[in-house]
Amino acid sequence: MRYQPILWTLAGAGLAAAPLAQAQEQEPESCQTVRFAEVGWTDIQATTALTSVVLEGLGYEATSDTVSVPVAYAGLKGGDFDVFLGNWMPSMKSISDPYIEKGQVDRPRANLEGAKYTLAVPEYVIDAGVTSVADLDEHADQFGHKLFGIEAGNDGNMIIQQMIDDDAFGLGDWQLVDSSEAGMLAEVRARTQSKEWMVFLGWAPHPMNTNFDIGYLSGADDYFGPDYGGATVYTNTRAGYVDECGNVGQLLQNLSFTLDMENEVMGSIMDDGEDEKDAARAWLKAHPETLDGWLEGVKTVDGEPGLPAVKEALGV
């Protein structure tokens, strides 16, 4: 009690106002852990790791859980996840748009332009004359009547299954093979070594484009979209998150990636066996200028300037 008059005097002089204002700038406790949904794709693993490393440098805790795409959206709707960085459009339209249109999930911005997502084959299959989805059924026996996808419930698998159900391009008697990104790529590796034919989901950015000689099939515009499944990837959040957690929201509104960036981080993860956060830290240390745009207007969890804090955490 003996210090009370002094404190009141300081407050009256305005000297206590600065700490109070700083406290008001702190992110609410409910926002100090950022929960990411991942879906088992290396590109989203890479972008989630890059974002998580930045958040940790700002003093946040970042967690991630790998789930299927439908579970990711149900989790965003239900408040189990805060952020999903992998809304590939237009291929994911049938899954994501109902949540967006009902206001159950928000789509703050695009985080990657110039991606693509459609059916691919080894280059020797292209050289043999299979350049379009319309050419597949003529060589059905060589392909074993199989189209290789990734995890069950994925939007790409759903598109393939729709092509089969529609008997598009004569594919009605073909079979979708559910697997995973890693399982599908292992199959690609094994088959290309022996020059066997296969058709599978391909996309960019991804190290598959440099690790294997592959080509993309034309003609599937009605299913995967034009320009060989030309895609834009969006950041999604649970409804109201950007306003509720304004500092993280500012980071998410600033956040964008490039094809080269993602290819390099994915290559470190897939080809070199690095932990995803180690790969992300190494990339950011080599390219610290990226942080200038990402951290514009962003503070630490305690309300301090964000850019110097993250650079210090990275050792740059």
47/118 Cα distance (integer angstroms): 21
Tokens of 203: 């996309």
DSSP symbols for 149-201: --STT-HHHHHHHHHHHTTGGG-TT-EEE---HHHHHHHHHHHHHTT---EEE
Task: Compute the half-sphere exposure of residue 181: CA atoms within 13 Å on the CB side of its CA.
Answer: 18
Domain with CATH 3.40.190.100 in the chain: 117-229
Q: What's the token pair of residue 307?
A: 């850019």
CA 195 vs CA 22, 184, 189, 214, 217: distances in Å:
64, 16, 10, 12, 18
What length does the chain have?
316
| Cβ proximity of 199 and 120 under 8 Å | yes
Q: How far apart are CA 159 and CA 202, in angstroms?
A: 13
Q: What are the φ/ψ torsions at residue 172 (nearest 5 degrees)?
A: -60, -25
User: Considering Cα of 248, then 251, then 256, then 262, what sign does the dihedral take?
Assistant: negative
**Cβ-contact 306, 299 below 8 angstroms:** yes
Which amino acid is it at 216? Y
Residue 3 confidence (pLDDT) above 50: no
pLDDT digits (tens, 9 = 90+) for 166-205: 999 999 999 999 999 999 999 999 999 999 999 999 999 9
Question: pTM for the full model?
Answer: 0.84
| CATH 3.40.190.10 domain position(s) in the chain | 30-115+231-314
User: Which residue is associated with the tokens 């956060």?
Assistant: 277
- For the cut 60, the answer to whether the pLDDT of residue 7 exceeds it is no
Q: Which long-range contacts (CB under 8 A, 24 or more apart) does 22-25 make?
A: 22/302, 22/303, 23/303, 25/299, 25/303
Task: pLDDT band for 15, please (50, 70, 90 cuts).
Answer: very low
Average pLDDT, the chain: 92
Q: For residue 90, is the peptide bond before it cis, meaning its omega torsion is within 30 degrees of 0? A: yes
Q: In terms of CATH, what superfamily is 117-229?
A: Glycine betaine-binding periplasmic protein; domain 2 (3.40.190.100)
Instruction: State how far the Cα of 122 lies from the Cα of 195, in Å rounded to an integer.
Output: 8
Phi, psi of 220, rounded to the nearest 5 degrees: -100, 25
What's the average model confidence in pLDDT over 15-37?
Answer: 68
Mean pLDDT, rounded, for 53-67:
98
The residue ranking higher by pLDDT, 193 or 21, is 193
Pick the CATH number of 30-115+231-314 from 3.10.110.10, 3.40.190.10, 3.50.50.60, 3.40.50.300: 3.40.190.10
pLDDT at 27: 78
| pLDDT in the model for residue 167 | 98
